[in-house]
């Protein structure tokens, strides 16, 4: 493939598709969530020619709807999953090294309540084991806090039955950005990812799978893609893609809500008892706080995945019981909802089903990898790619992803260059945290053109995403590219009203198509702000 052409430009799609159908790949990955992205980067960096397809935008499935923690999984200790705690815990250090702009340390407060799930003694023991298994650095080790110190950390906590607290280390991320950055890195190294390309059928020869028939969801055309190995990383769609009678997955629904810090001025991230004895998170993010999550079995059609009023009330009641606030439905600014793909385990309730990943190989040779966590994506990929090498009797090549840096490693130099262009530190931080060192291009393009204000910066960002991140529309942009639809919904609405002409001009599409995009965006806004 001609790598001089930038096929990550959404407007080069037709040309790109022609080159894809001419190639035969070593690996074809179905699914551009974190699992597929991880596999694609691992195969490509080990020298395998790889194509990745997603039926919607990259990261638009569960991989943009999580709690956004890269965590050692304290709750797995309860289930005695020591190996899982060790693996996910150790991965945090790796991910913050390879992607420091999107994986950042975050201190978590765990209040210990009189009738709570954990008492002081158990918490102390659990956190000691956790620190050991998760390879927590000496300086980051957990602390048990007195009652007074717990309230100093979080003054909003109600004083009635808190005995003390624990203060321990987690990492936070932007799940959508992590996924897209991994896909972009794999493209830079030679892979061929494409979004809005749905796998509709497998192609077989002598009862073995040799390719995938796909439908382009943008223009409706059909494409055949051929590969030696087909990896199914379609998350909660695994059963639909395999189309087997026997289902492999059980799906668990989880919601998050977003409120302004004006209404809930939380000082710090907190993991606390919900009204039913489960534990939930509240995490500040700039001038907002997001709260989640729920864990309930989901058996309906996936296009009926919406946030229900009773789920929101569960979170609100838990907040109002724990903090000195009185939050109501009207205070919720936005929400998101995702499905955990969990491996079916008899008749166990979803909350009891293991969160570990599993690999299945069908008799036709399709390799499915599913389950697992965002946190463990790199190790999941390593395992499945080792398997590809074994299955094809290829000489072993070790995974390189542990040391393969994504795009966030030039912070100081870049910061001074961008400030020299006339931008503020705040503007730099915002864009660096999303795009790593690639943010330079957004600033540079704007510098050449117009006033360096936030609105023009956003328009320059939109142009960048269309050209360099295979972003196809406003919804891709405001959700998977910069999450504004979740954390700054008012700004999204004012921007599309006041700067409609400029945005339409950048996108370069017909009036009719532009209006269709606006309708889709507004529909989604309705969906994440209405609760029935
Ligand atoms: C509420 C919630 C909170 C969570 N919090 C955390 C957390 O804090 N930390 C953590 O580590 N993990 C967390 N998880 C788990 C984690 O988010 C998931 O394990 C992970 O995102 C799953 O990624 P995936 O790539 O397997 O699936 P997905 O992200 O859903 O990706 C699958 C992709 O496959 C595509 N696809 C499906 N069918 C086809 C087809 N026919 N053709 C082409 N493409 C197709 C879809 O469009 C989709 O993009 C959470 C999960 C939930 C639901």
Digit-coded pLDDT (tens) for 475-495: 999 999 999 999 999 999 999
Ligand 1 center–CA 340 separation, angstroms: 7
Q: Are residues 235 and 373 in the same domain?
A: yes
Query: Helices in 140-248 by DSSP H: which ranges?
Result: 147-153, 175-188, 238-242
Atom number, ligand 1, closest to the C-alpha of residue 214: 42
For ligand 1, residues with CB inside 6 Å are 30-36, 53-56, 60-63, 65-69, 71, 198-199, 233-237, 241, 254, 293, 338-341, 370, 372-375
Assess if residue 347 is contained within a domain: no
Ligand 1 center–CA 174 separation, angstroms: 13
Q: Are residues 52 and 184 in the same domain?
A: yes
Q: Which of 357, 378, 383, 367 is nearest to 228 (CA)?
A: 367
**Cα 449 to Cα 306: distance, rounded to the nearest angstrom:** 41
pLDDT per residue rounded down to tens, the chain (532 residues): 667 788 899 999 999 999 999 999 999 999 999 999 999 999 999 999 999 999 999 999 999 999 999 987 777 777 778 888 888 888 998 999 999 999 999 999 999 988 777 778 888 888 888 888 888 888 888 999 999 999 999 999 999 889 999 999 999 999 999 999 999 999 999 999 999 999 999 999 999 999 999 999 999 999 999 999 999 999 999 999 999 878 889 999 999 999 999 999 999 999 999 999 899 999 999 999 999 999 999 999 988 899 999 999 999 999 999 999 999 999 999 999 999 999 888 777 777 777 788 899 999 999 999 998 999 999 999 999 999 999 999 999 999 999 999 988 888 889 999 999 899 999 999 999 999 999 999 998 887 766 778 899 999 999 999 999 999 999 999 999 999 999 999 999 999 989 988 899 999 888 899 999 999 999 999 999 999 9
Q: Are residues 436 and 385 in the same domain?
A: no
**Cα 38 to Cα 30: distance, rounded to the nearest angstrom:** 12
Which pTM value belongs to this model? 0.97
Phi-psi region of 60 (alpha: psi -120 to 50; beta: other; left: phi over 0): alpha
> In the numeric block, which tokens belong to residue 205?
């020869």
Q: Are residues 505 and 379 in the same domain?
A: no
DSSP assignment of 340-382, as one string?
EEEE--TT--GGGS---EEEEE-TT--EEEEE--STTHHHHHH
CATH number of 427's domain:
1.10.8
Q: Which residue's structure tokens are 């936070």?
A: 172
Q: Are residues 416 and 515 in the same domain?
A: yes
Q: Is 54 helix (H, G, I), strand (E, B) or coil?
A: coil
Atom number, ligand 1, closest to the C-alpha of residue 294: 1
Assess if residue 360 is contained within a domain: yes
Q: Are residues 359 and 443 in the same domain?
A: no
* Residue whose CB lies within 8 A of the most ligand 1 atoms, among 56, 178, 237, for a mutation test: 237
* Residue whose CB lies within 8 A of the most ligand 1 atoms, among 30, 31, 195, for a mutation test: 31
Q: Are residues 475 and 522 in the same domain?
A: yes
Query: The domain containing residue 460 runs over which residues?
Result: 411-529
CATH number of 375's domain:
3.50.50.60
Q: Are residues 379 and 525 in the same domain?
A: no
375, 403, 431 — which closes off a domain? 403
Ligand 1 center–CA 379 separation, angstroms: 16
Instruction: Give the total residue count for the chain.
Output: 532
Assess if residue 33 is contained within a domain: yes
Number of structural domains (the chain) is 2
Q: Are residues 241 and 358 in the same domain?
A: yes
Q: Are residues 440 and 524 in the same domain?
A: yes
Assess if residue 480 is contained within a domain: yes
Assess if residue 441 is contained within a domain: yes
Q: Are residues 508 and 362 in the same domain?
A: no
**Residue 502 CB neighbours (<10 A):** 16
Digit-coded pLDDT (tens) for 10-44: 999 999 999 999 999 999 999 999 999 999 999 99
C-alpha pair distances (Å), 399 with each of 44, 180, 402: 10, 20, 7
The pLDDT assigned to 1 comes to 67
Assess if residue 47 is contained within a domain: yes
Assess if residue 314 is contained within a domain: no
Assess if residue 125 is contained within a domain: no
The CA-CA-CA angle for residues 506, 63, 470, to 5°, reads: 25
Q: Which residues of 225-239 are buried (b: 16+ CB within 10 A; e: fewer)?
A: bbbbbbbbbbbbbbb
* Residue whose CB lies within 8 A of the most ligand 1 atoms, among 53, 69, 340, 366, for a mutation test: 340
Q: Are residues 449 and 515 in the same domain?
A: yes
């Amino acid at each position: 493939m001609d790598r001089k052409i930038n096929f990550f430009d959404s407007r080069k799609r037709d040309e790109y598709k022609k080159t894809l159908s001419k190639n035969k790949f070593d690996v074809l990955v179905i699914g551009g969530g974190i699992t597929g992205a991880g596999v694609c980067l691992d195969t490509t960096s080990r020298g395998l020619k790889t194509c990745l397809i997603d039926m919607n935008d990259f990261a638009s499935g569960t991989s943009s709807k999580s709690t956004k923690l890269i965590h050692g999984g304290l709750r797995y200790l309860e289930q005695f999953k020591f190996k899982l705690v060790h693996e996910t815990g150790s991965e945090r250090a790796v991910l913050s090294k390879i992607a420091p702009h999107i994986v950042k340390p975050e201190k978590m407060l765990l209040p210990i309540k009189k009738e709570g799930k954990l008492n002081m003694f158990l918490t102390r023991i659990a956190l000691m084991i956790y620190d050991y298994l998760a390879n927590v650095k000496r300086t980051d080790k957990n602390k048990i806090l007195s009652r007074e110190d717990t309230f100093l950390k979080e003054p909003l906590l109600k004083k009635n039955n808190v005995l003390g607290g624990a203060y321990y280390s987690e990492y936070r991320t932007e799940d959508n950005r992590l996924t897209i950055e991994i896909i972009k890195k794999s493209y830079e190294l030679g892979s061929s990812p494409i979004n809005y390309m749905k796998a509709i059928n497998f192609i077989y020869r002598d009862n073995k799978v040799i390719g995938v028939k796909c439908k382009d969801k943008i223009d409706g055309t059909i494409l055949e893609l051929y590969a030696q190995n087909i990896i199914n990383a379609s998350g909660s769609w695994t059963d639909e893609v395999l189309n087997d009678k026997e289902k492999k997955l059980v799906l668990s629904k989880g919601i998050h809500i977003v409120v302004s810090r004006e209404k809930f001025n939380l000082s710090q991230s907190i993991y606390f008892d919900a009204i039913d004895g489960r534990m939930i998170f509240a995490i500040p993010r700039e001038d907002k706080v997001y709260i989640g999550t729920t864990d309930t079995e989901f058996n309906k059609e996936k296009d009926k995945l919406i946030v229900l009023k009773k789920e929101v009330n569960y979170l609100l009641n838990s907040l109002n019981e724990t903090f000195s606030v009185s939050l109501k439905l009207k205070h919720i600014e936005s929400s998101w909802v995702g499905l955990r793909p969990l491996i079916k385990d008899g008749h166990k309730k979803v909350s009891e089903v293991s969160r570990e990943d599993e690999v299945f190989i069908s008799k036709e040779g399709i390799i499915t990898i599913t389950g697992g966590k965002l946190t463990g994506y790199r190790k999941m990929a390593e395992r499945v790619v080792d398997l590809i090498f074994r299955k094809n009797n290829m000489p072993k090549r070790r995974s390189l992803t542990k040391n393969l840096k994504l795009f966030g490693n030039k912070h100081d130099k870049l910061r001074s260059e961008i400030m020299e262009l006339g931008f503020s530190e705040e503007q730099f931080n915002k864009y660096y945290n999303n795009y790593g060192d690639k943010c330079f291009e957004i600033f540079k393009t704007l510098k050449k053109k117009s006033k360096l204000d936030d609105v023009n910066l956003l328009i320059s960002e939109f142009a960048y995403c269309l050209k360099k991140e295979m972003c196809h529309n406003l919804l891709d942009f405001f959700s998977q590219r910069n999450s504004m639809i979740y954390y700054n919904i008012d700004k999204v609405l004012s921007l599309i009203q006041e700067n409609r002409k400029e945005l339409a001009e950048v996108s370069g599409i017909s009036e009719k198509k532009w209006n269709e995009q606006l309708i889709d965006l507004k529909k989604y806004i309705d969906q994440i702000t209405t609760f029935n």
